[in-house]
Structure 1
Amino acid sequence: MSKEKPILQMLRDGYSQRHIASFLHVSRNTVARVAKAASEHQLPNDVLESMDEVEIRHTLFPEEALIPTLVTPDFPYIHKELLKNGVTLKLLWQEYVDTCRNTGKPPYGYSQYCKLYQDYVTQHKLTMHIQHKPGDKLMVDWAGTALPLYDKTTGNSRKVYLFVATLPFSMYCYAQACGTMKEEDWINAHIAMYEFFGGVTRILTPDNLKVGILSNRKYEDPVVNRSYQELADHYHTALLPARVLAPRDKAAVEGSVGNLTSHIIARLRNRKFFDLHTMNTAIRKELDRFNDTPFQKKDGSRHSVFLEEEATFLQPLPKYPYEFAQWKSATVQLNYHIAIDFQNYSVPYEYVRKKVDVRYTKNSIEVYYKGNRICSHKRLYGRRGQYSTVVEHMPVNHQLYSEWDQKRFLKWADGIGEATHQVIQGIFDSYRIEEQAYKSCLSLLKLADKYSTERLEHACRAALERIPSPRYKNIRLILESLQ
């Protein structure tokens, strides 16, 4: 605001330049400059009162009227454009300069342009959109304070952990209690988080936890846990972990962890929970209250800012939620099967003795060789040792099947004794497909090489007396005990 008029009025009333500078909060040089101009361009008192600030300034400093006026930036347009991905103040300033040059008017410099925009944001109590854009980034972490979960029978408690996620633009938060900090709970908390927000951000920023980030060196690309990378790929988001020992990279979630600790954990400290579902129901109620609490220094709440300014910028959720998957390596056995959690799944016989990667979820098993999926199965549950065998995986002219069949195994067993024959026959009867029994029968009959045919026959007879369907392991233990 121009202060030439009040300076002239105070000079007319006889105040010193030092007093005027102090009273109007201007520099003494400014007061001296106005006093000098007033002495050169006499302004009668009656005329001074009727003139506005612009007229007085042009009368005192006519040379400034010859200087072109700088073009005022369109601040509402700037604020709206900064919401868009990839748009920066530098880019908008360059576009502003080009527009000014095309119209022949002088623009503000970049630093003054940024200062004017910051003043506009402060004056209108808006959110600065320089660091964070709506729907651009999502930050996740564990809260440092654990919650107690009690056992109904013993009354003992164990720790459960609070997963926290924050959208840094609106500061809208999500929280969920998890039984452990292991990979499965970490992944499932993310799946629930995306359902809560109803969309996906462009970037996902976790801390450097081993369940998500295996390595994050300064000058190298981060090494991401395979299941965590699958989750990011499924939701079409990019993993950009925070730098090691750089809490500012995830300042939004760090602040939310502290606020949620006091708002949720402290509020629930006197309640006893005996299952995670009840605890998470209570946490959700406190979370909604936290998100709906009005801001102290600006209008609205986390929830209202999210709905009004950020929700529409989120990417849509995929058609189906991600299903947690684990990976392990396995070697295809001679019977062209692999074992996962004591259950057996067939693989095309061409991969016998080769190492394969196995991806298994709650419902399915997928087998990969050098990055290519070679087969899949529905996951088996129940008693151990079950087989899922695809007939097409069986070889046509494989050496194992050209040399061995049930008839030959039984003939070999006859050469040892009747009890051994019964055990081998029982093993074949227990499998749906004949080839599944070959490995077990071969291992059992070869015990004769180590212990003799007489001792093997005796062990088989003893096993038949005590066990309805004896297997290789039973026979081997009997032989070892009789040594």
Structure 2
Amino acid sequence: MFTIRQILVRMRQGDTDRSIARAGLMGRKKLGLLRRQVAQRGWLDPQQPLPDDGEMAAALQRRPEGQPTQCVSSLKEHEERIAAWVAQGIQGTTIHAALVRQYGFSGSYSSVKRLIRQVRAAEAPRVTSRLTFAPGEAAQVDFGAGPLLADPRTGELRKTWFFVMTLCWSRHQYAEFVWDQKVMTWLACHRHAFAWFGGVPERVIIDNAKCAITKACINDPQVQRAYGEYAEEWAFRVDPCPPHDPQKKGIVESGVKYLKRSFLPLREFRHRDDAQQQLQAWVLGEAGNRIHGTTRQAPLNRFAEVEKALLQPLPEHPPEISEWARPKVHRDGHVQYGRCYYSVPFRFVDQRLWLRATPTTVRIYQEQERVATHPRLFQPGSFATVKDHLPPEAQAWQTQDIQWCRHKAEDIGPHCHTVVHQLFADRQLVYLRSVQNLLRLGGKYSPQRLENACARALYYGNARYKSIAEILKKGLDQEPLPLVDTSDNSTYTRGGRFLRDSKHLFH
């Protein structure tokens, strides 16, 4: 109506339709129609006052006589169906294709697009309210994609992330470049941020990152165990945003965008430490002393003058950074964490235990009972094994080596020691398990009987585990060995069954 009123004033002043159209107020064709309508009502008389906006709107919005009131839409029968599809978030081109394919619609996509606009215009607008925070009440946390930096170990370019924590009231922030978004990194960044601020906010508003939330849910979210313990020890509460609603932490979202647009472009970084130094200088300089677009004050001044004193004090002893995992015990009695392996007592095979890892140690629990403790390993494929955790068979294999077996056989007797020496001297097979089992026969029967059985096996030239075990089983070790006639050239006194000395061989 403001434009119509301007046109009426110029018409009253005697301006032509051409000059009014040249001013860009309305086209000449519509100006001619408007001039006829207002002339019929006497509104072009300079002596008469102009009508108010309501009267002009009611008069000019009527359609001329003979003009149809409205065209019938070709989508009339599909309006409800299209409205339901729009509510489901289906895009316009997909809706048009479905109408053509399923219902034989012959109209253009433009008609579908116009109807979708009408449907969306009829929907109630989404109304939001601005979140306000008191000094020291809350901080918001988020990650952003960082630049490619050289890996200190390999020298290759590697993707980085930057962690940002922003205090909601002052807008002062902490930022740090990291290599990953793992739980240990997440907790370490919190610790560095609290030390940077010199205090702890009452709550930390986060997204549903896996390093913090194991189950994203609007009503019953589940916090990662290590992060929950960390929050208790630092005395802050975790406030996760509802799923798919990052606007609830819009303050840090804006901070991430500001860092990407203002800090990262046109900078060069030699390595991560250099990037971190430049980032901290930027936060304390340009970012901290700018006039914030919302608060209209410098974040660093608001923080130093008001908010810093209202943060909760830091704990006297900073909590230990740790991560919980729920690994399954493998058949070899080890659990895997960080591509390294740690032993537990073999009775827990095929069970799931709790593992708590710190930068220096790994502790393994069955519920509340600690069952194993190991130093933390970092080389992939490394093993930390406690011999007492292994089953007896495995302990025997590792502790009862060749030297142990020889000493044990020597304690039993000379014949047993000879049998063991012959088995270990074999050039084809490793008889370690056979010798270990052979020596265990001394505990099953007695060392003396085992010595006699070895003597009998040597006498008959069959010094093997199976034959010795058979001798003991049948009790043949308790029978005397046959007497040897030294005058008979067909017999022998020592050595193998077919061994002869030169006297008997060439007799």
TM-score (norm 2): 0.48
Q: Which has the higher contact order (CA 8 A, sep 6+)?
A: 1
Work out which of the two has the higher radius of gyration on C-alpha atoms and give 1 or 2: 2
TM-score normalised by the chain length of structure 1: 0.50
